[in-house]
Structure 1
Amino acid sequence: MLKGFREFIMRGNVIDLAVAVVIGAAFTGVVNSIVANLFTPLIGAIFDAESLDEAMILPLPGGGGLKFGAVLGSIITFLIVAAVVYFVFVLPINKMKEMQEAKRKAGVEDAADVAAPVTELDLLTEIRDALVASEDKQLR
C-alpha cells in the first residue's frame, strides 16, 4: 500500500504540481502588492477615492452599498495573473512543444529516407548471386 503511494508521489507530475503551488502562492503576494500599491492608487485618484474599495460605491437604502471598485480591483488582479501565467508559462511551453513536434516529424522523415535494414536473407541472396556471377566468369 505504501509502495504504491510512494510511486505516486515520486512521479514527476506530483512534484511539479507541488512546486507550482508554492511558486503560485509566492507570486500571488507580488501581484497583490502591485495592484494594491500601483493600480489601486491610480484608479482611486481617477475616481477621487483613497482606494478602489472606496471608489464607485452605489449606496443602497438601509445602509451598505454595492462596491464596484472592489470588483474592479479583483478583475485587475485576475488579468495581471492571467497575463503573467500566459506569457511566462503557456507561450514558452507551447513553443517548446512545437519545436519537439518539428524535430519528431523531421526524425520520422529522415527514418523514411534511410534504407530498410538488411536482413540475413538479403545477405545470403547477395552472396549466392556473387558466387553465380564468379562461376559464370570462370566458365567463359
Structure 2
Amino acid sequence: MSGFKKFLMRGNLVELAVAVVVGATFSGLVQALVKDLITPLIAAVTGGKEPDFSQYVFTVNGAKFMYGDFINQLLSFMIIASVIYWLVVLPMSRLITFFDRNKEATEKKCPECLSNIPVAARRCAFCTAELQTEAATAPSA
C-alpha cells in the first residue's frame, strides 16, 4: 500500500493530472471560441444565413451527413494544435537545442563505433578502441 501512496504523491502524477484538467478546460474554451465567435464571423463575411456551422447538413438516402459539425471540430483542432505548437513545442525545441549546443563542446564521436564519448577520453568506453588525443597529434619540436 505504501508503494501505491508514493506513486500517487509523485510530482509527475500531480502535474499530469493538472495538465489534463487544464487541457480539458482549454478545449472547452476553444470550442466556445469557434462556435460563438469564429463561425459567426465567417458566416458574416461569406453572407451565410446560419452563423453556426453545426446546422449545415446534407442527406443521401435518408442518411444525415453533418459536415458543418465537422468544420467546427476541425477549426477547434487547428486552434488547439497551433497553440500547442507555438506555446509548447517551439519553446521546448529551442531550449533543447540550447542545451545540446553545450553538450557538443564536451563530447566527440568515436571513429570506430561512432558513440559519443568525452573529448579527453583516450579509449572508447563502448568499443574499447584506443583514441588519439589532441596532444599526441600535435607535431613535436
TM bucket (normalised to shorter chain) is 0.5 to 0.7
Q: CA RMSD in A?
A: 2.4
Q: What is the TM-score when the length of structure 1 is the normalising length?
A: 0.65
Matches within 5 A, 1:1-140: 2-45=1-44, 46=46, 47-55=48-56, 57-62=57-62, 65-108=64-107, 112=119
Deviations 1:68-125 (A, max 9, x none): 111111111111111111111111111111212222333447x746xxxxxxxxxxxx
- The whole-number CA distance in structure 2 between the counterparts of 1:44 and 1:83 is 23
Specify which structure has the higher proportion of strand.
Answer: 2
Q: Runs of 4 or more off by more than 3 Å in structure 1? A: none
The alignment-based identity, stated in percent, is 33
User: Based on CA coordinates, which of the two structures has the bigger radius of gyration?
Assistant: 1
Query: What's 2:126 paired with?
Result: none
Cα contact 1:43–1:52 (8 A) shared by 2? no
Matched residues, number: 110
Q: What is the TM-score when the length of structure 2 is the normalising length?
A: 0.65
Deviations 1:20-79 (A, max 9, x none): 112102211221121012211123342332310123x213444x6312111111111111
Structure 2: give runs of 5+ residues left out of the alignment.
109-117, 121-141
State the AA in 1 paired with 2:50.
A
